[in-house]
Amino acid sequence: MSTKEKERKMFVGVVWNCAAELKFLLTALLFLCSLITLLHFLPSRFYFSPSDLANSCLSTPVDHSLSHFNATNSSALPPPPPPPSSLDKDRLLENGVVKRAFNPFGSAAYNFILMSAYRGGYNTFAVMGLASKPLHVYGKPSYLCEWVPFNKNHNSISVTGHKILPDWGYGRVYTVLVINCTFPVPVGDDGGKLLIHAATNGGGDTKLNTTDTFEALTETGEDFINFTSTFKSPPKYDFLYCGSSLYGNLSPQRVREWLAFHVRLFGEKSHFVIHDAGGVHEGVMEVLKPWMDKGYVTLQDIRDQERFDGYYHNQFLIVNDCLHRYKFQAKWMFFFDVDEFIFVPKKSTIKSVVDSLADYTQFTIEQMPMSNKLCLSEDRGKSYRKWGFEKLVYKDVKRGIRRDRKYAVQPRNVIATGVHMSQNTVGKTTHKTEGRIKYFHYHGTIAERREPCRQLVNATSITVDGTPYIVDTTMRDIAATVKRFELKMIGSTLQRTRQ
């Protein structure tokens, strides 16, 4: 037998011995091909993606009885009907005119934003806040004050609120509003609450008269007793400073100088209320803290007012709150900025000046505008060791310009106030204070954290950019005295203060 014939018989034998396995394999291939062909003719809803197969095989077992219960109940409940449309639709009138529809949504500004409310007497209150400026400019909103006693045996009493807009039209989205509530009789000796009913009277939408009611003030009987005691007692302070909103990257060194100068000027019975609108950073806080510990400074965080778009960090709102908050705690209140320094002549004191003006509810103060960059050439190389008001000695003497004035008031006779003066006082105002009191204004220096001397001058007079200046060393001459006063009061803790 040849070799080829042997190999053929061996192959046939192997195939014959594996016939059962080959039959199974061929049958499986035939079934798989048939299944693939069948899937091409099935609808798409029977399609299974690989992810479906994976989820079916790998997911957590489901409680089929619960699924069946939910499915049964879901099918039993009819789908909810769509909500009816509340929108007005355009309509065709009988005369052929198409009447168009207007649908308002939301609100562009709040009716009123309450900051504070204070009792101003046995029968009067002041409520401070912000209100929609367009509503007040183009509408006629009104306010009703209601006193609701806690004693149920006493009836509530209502009176029309007198609205005051003290910001001279400077508001933006919001304007400052002071509501004066004066009742015909004393209220609150046994406690109660003051409600304000703020009505738009069709302002914003003539079809609506929206009235918002809010609780402005709550008092207990003990609160009324405490007020009576404060009201009848002599003021705690001779002088109180109400500061405007502080914002920006302020210079700690300039704040340091300003505080030391004015604590010395106003004396032991003085107090300073500082309002932080974002300007009291860590460096400024280090300067304020020693005076806060001594009881001369109160710091109030008013940063949340930045949410509401009013004029200049809502400073008119802030000074009115300060006025009424401390109204019975000070004989005189001063309103000016932290780049301004009050000065009285050497032979006078601040007390002697205000005593001479005691017949007036308000007096204004003349401004001495100072250069914020001109310094004496003799300070070359040592200006960094001198204080700002010590080295900035050139005074602007340009004539024919109306300068802003700052002011002081006897607060018990003031109903509302402003930034440069009050227009809501009981009593007289005088502007004739020249020679008795003035203030030096170093504009912009408080907001610059660098050496202010940018031009050294060796002359007693100079004209820069069309503005004439002359040397005035009034403030320079008292700098050493102020430095010694600070060292005596709080020690050397601020000696390394930066610009």
Q: Within a 10 A sphere around the Cβ of 140, how many other Cβ atoms?
A: 11
How would you classify the pairing of strands 455-457 and 394-396?
Answer: unpaired
317-336 average pLDDT score: 98
118-146 average pLDDT score: 96
Q: What is the pLDDT confidence band of residue 46, given thresholds at 50, 70 and 90?
A: very low
* pLDDT > 90 in the chain, percent: 77
State the average pLDDT for the chain. 89
Calpha distance 423→429 (Å, rounded): 9
- What are the counts of helices (DSSP H) followed by strands (DSSP E) for the chain? 12, 26
In tens, the pLDDT along 252-306 reads: 999 999 999 999 999 999 999 999 999 999 999 999 999 999 999 999 999 999 9
89-98 average pLDDT score: 93
- The reply to whether 234-490 shares the fold of 102-230 is no
pLDDT at 207: 87
Is 68 a residue whose pLDDT tops 90? no
* H or E segment to which residue 246 belongs: strand 237-246
Question: Which range among 30-34, 62-66, 430-434 has the greatest average pLDDT?
Answer: 430-434
Q: Which of 70-79, 84-93, 226-235 has the lowest mean pLDDT?
A: 70-79
In tens, the pLDDT along 447-467 reads: 999 999 999 999 999 999 999
Q: Which of 67-76, 91-100, 190-199 has the lowest mean pLDDT?
A: 67-76
Q: Does residue 170 sit in helix, strand or coil?
A: coil
pLDDT at 258: 98
Question: Which contacts (CB < 8 Å, 24+ apart) does range 398-406 have?
Answer: 398/467, 398/468, 403/366, 403/367, 403/369, 404/367, 405/364, 405/365, 405/366, 405/367, 405/431, 406/334, 406/335, 406/336, 406/337, 406/340, 406/364, 406/365, 406/367, 406/439
- Write the DSSP string, 27-52: HHHHHHHHHHHHHTTS-GGG---HHH
Domain boundaries, the chain: 102-230, 234-490
What's this model's pTM, rounded to 2 decimal places?
A: 0.81
Q: Which residues are CB-contacts of 400 (< 8 A; sequence separation ≥ 6)?
A: none
Q: What is the pLDDT confidence band of residue 106, given thresholds at 50, 70 and 90?
A: confident
The maximal CA–CA distance of the chain, rounded, in angstroms, is 149
pLDDT at 287: 98
**Residue for token pair 């610009």:** 499
Give first-to-last CA distance, the chain, whole Å: 116
If one looks up domain 234-490 in CATH, what number appears? 3.90.550
Closest CA to 442 of 472, 401, 408, 485: 472
Q: What is the pLDDT confidence band of residue 204, given thresholds at 50, 70 and 90?
A: confident
Q: Within a 10 A sphere around the Cβ of 341, how many other Cβ atoms?
A: 25
Q: Compute CA distances 488 → 260, 288, 491, whole Å.
A: 11, 16, 6
Is 8 a residue whose pLDDT tops 90? no
Closest CA to 124 of 192, 197, 179: 179
Q: What is the pLDDT confidence band of residue 5, given thresholds at 50, 70 and 90?
A: low
Is 11 a residue whose pLDDT tops 90? no
Is 56 a residue whose pLDDT tops 70? no
Q: Are 181 and 217 in contact (CB under 8 A)?
A: no
Q: Compute CA distances 287 → 178, 245, 264, 392, 479, whole Å.
A: 33, 17, 16, 22, 18
129-138 average pLDDT score: 95
Q: Within a 10 A sphere around the Cβ of 396, how many other Cβ atoms?
A: 20
If one looks up domain 102-230 in CATH, what number appears? 2.60.40
* Upper half-sphere CA count for residue 148 (Cβ side, 13 Å): 12
Q: What is the pLDDT confidence band of residue 44, given thresholds at 50, 70 and 90?
A: very low
Please compute Rg for the chain using Cα positions: 40
Is 10 a residue whose pLDDT tops 90? no
Is 37 a residue whose pLDDT tops 70? no
* H or E segment to which residue 429 belongs: strand 429-430
Calpha distance 99→102 (Å, rounded): 10
Q: What is the pLDDT confidence band of residue 412, given thresholds at 50, 70 and 90?
A: very high
- CA angle, 266 then 267 then 270, to 5°: 70
pLDDT at 47: 44
pLDDT at 100: 83
In tens, the pLDDT along 335-384 reads: 999 999 999 999 999 999 999 999 999 999 999 999 999 999 999 999 89
